[in-house]
Chains A and B, each alone.
Chain A
């Protein structure tokens, strides 16, 4: 029974959202506002039950002395962060926000270096390991093309330039030439990604329509 109700409700919301294809209308706005409210409530629930309770409240109540002592700092910061709810006391949330920014900066830096720069640099060199490759020539050619794509794409984003006598800002000829090639690679990559996004969206559309038809026994 509940499945049926859920199916009907889901059907209605799907129709309301798809009505946006005809034009912006109140059904769409209604569905969106209900959805935004419901998803916010859902995420808040998850945060309370799966973060605040197990990470903070339960250890404070049931944890050892050491755990409680360790939790004093996050507890203070937690309370300070809650001060941001009130515009008057918002300034007190500074330290908590500062903590998040500092942690975020560190995560961003380490993520960029350890997660992307080093692994991707290594991966770019991988195809050139022709000694341990069954098809060295093909791999080398593909590797070279990929390397050219990677290098020229990086060059394309070069920001530094010099000011010409006529006041215009230009990059030097070599950089411009490489950047032009890089621009093609960037466009090509974005084109492939765009096709991927479209594929995902189309699958979602098919899944939605399929669910609508399923309700009518198709």
Chain B
């Protein structure tokens, strides 16, 4: 319980220091704020190690319990250990890490993104089966129009009016207005959420 109180006190103190350092236009506060943030970076690097341990623990447990698909977990542990060992030994710029990056990480991530091309078409095709409200209809119409207006036809190039009038107007006027509204709304939400955490109304580190 005391641990929670200490954590809460630290959270409030650090948050206020950094916030005041950001919002008050006093140069003297800048280094303090930066130092506090610098410490936060160091702590979050420890969190990476904790995360690695957690990942290892979760999959080790699967292997130990011989859970369903635990073979995959064993493979994950193997690949992680190997990459980590090579990385620690040769550094992230070492040849082995370059190979791991260009041979595994890059192609897999790119291929996962490529999957979305099909997934998104499928999702948009089925959207009106799920919901047929005005928002969905406008959404689908806009998405199709934006894609269509952005393409060039063989030998003809951009589609007249669509390419040079509708598409820019759609993206830089209509969508920009809504996008700004979304950004402002999210910012308001972030502001109140941050304040809740700052006043320890929310204590994700436990307690309450």
Contact = CB atoms under 8 A, between A and B. Distances in A.
Interface of A: 2, 5-6, 9-11, 13-14, 17-18, 20-21, 29-52, 55-56, 70, 73-74, 77-79, 81-82, 84-85, 91-117, 120-121, 123-124, 142, 145-154, 156-157, 182-202, 204-205, 207-209, 211
User: What is the interface residue range for chain B against chain A?
Assistant: 35 or more
B184 A117 contact: yes
Nearest to A26: B72
B154 interface: no
B206 interface: yes
B114 A191 contact: no
A74 B181 contact: no
Among B97, B141, B142, chain A packs the most CB atoms within 10 A around the CB of B142
Contacts of B165: none
Nearest to B193: A108
Contact of A17 (B111, B171, B205): B111
B118 interface: yes
B46 A81 contact: yes
B39 A74 contact: yes
Instruction: Give the 5 A-B residue pairs with the shortest CB-CB distance, closest first.
Output: A149-B177, A153-B181, A45-B87, A191-B142, A41-B83
A37 B49 contact: no
A160 B43 CA distance: 39
A48 B174 contact: no
B119 to A, nearest CB: 8
Contacts of B72: 29-30, 33
Nearest to A86: B53
B36 A103 contact: yes
A180 B181 CA distance: 14
A87 to B, nearest CB: 9
B159 interface: no
Contacts of A196: 146
Given A9-B99, A39-B105, A98-B205, 13 more contacts: A29-B72, A36-B76, A37-B81, A73-B39, A78-B45, A104-B194, A106-B16, A108-B194, A116-B183, A117-B187, A146-B177, A185-B177, A190-B139
Contacts of A42: 83, 87, 92, 97, 100-101, 105
A34 B75 contact: yes
B173 A201 contact: no
A105 B11 contact: yes
A100 B184 contact: no
Interface string B50-91: 111111000000000000010011011111111111111001
